[in-house]
Amino acid sequence: MQSGLGKLDKWILEFETNDPSKNPLMGWESSNDTYSELKLEFSTKELAINYAKKKKIDYELIEPKKRKIVKKSYADNFLK
């Protein structure tokens, strides 16, 4: 599989599930907390932080990892 480079310019605010429980019939994880289903997208990091501060939401900032791109040719698969 290949990891794409799409949607790298967005910052996402996700809410943590407060009370996860396991469904006894199916074994799925479920919760009565509907905030866990909500994802908010922002165009900049500053907008996301300002929104969280304005709404008094505790947040944890996770910076994206720097990707190391190795350029290689398809023929390199057969040379080694």
Q: What is the residue-level pLDDT of the chain in tens, covering all 80 positions?
A: 566 667 678 899 988 877 778 878 888 877 777 787 889 999 999 999 999 999 998 889 988 888 888 888 888 888 86
Q: In Å, how far are 53, 65, 72 from 59, measured between CA atoms?
A: 9, 19, 39
Please state the pTM of the whole predicted model: 0.63
Q: In Å, how far are 39, 43, 50, 54, 64 from 57, measured between CA atoms?
A: 14, 18, 10, 8, 21
Cβ-based neighbours of 15, under 8 Å, separated by 6 or more = 33, 35, 36, 38
- Identify the residue whose tokens are 């922002």: 42
Q: Which of 17, 16, 7 lies closest to 41, judged by CA?
A: 7
pLDDT of 41 reads 93
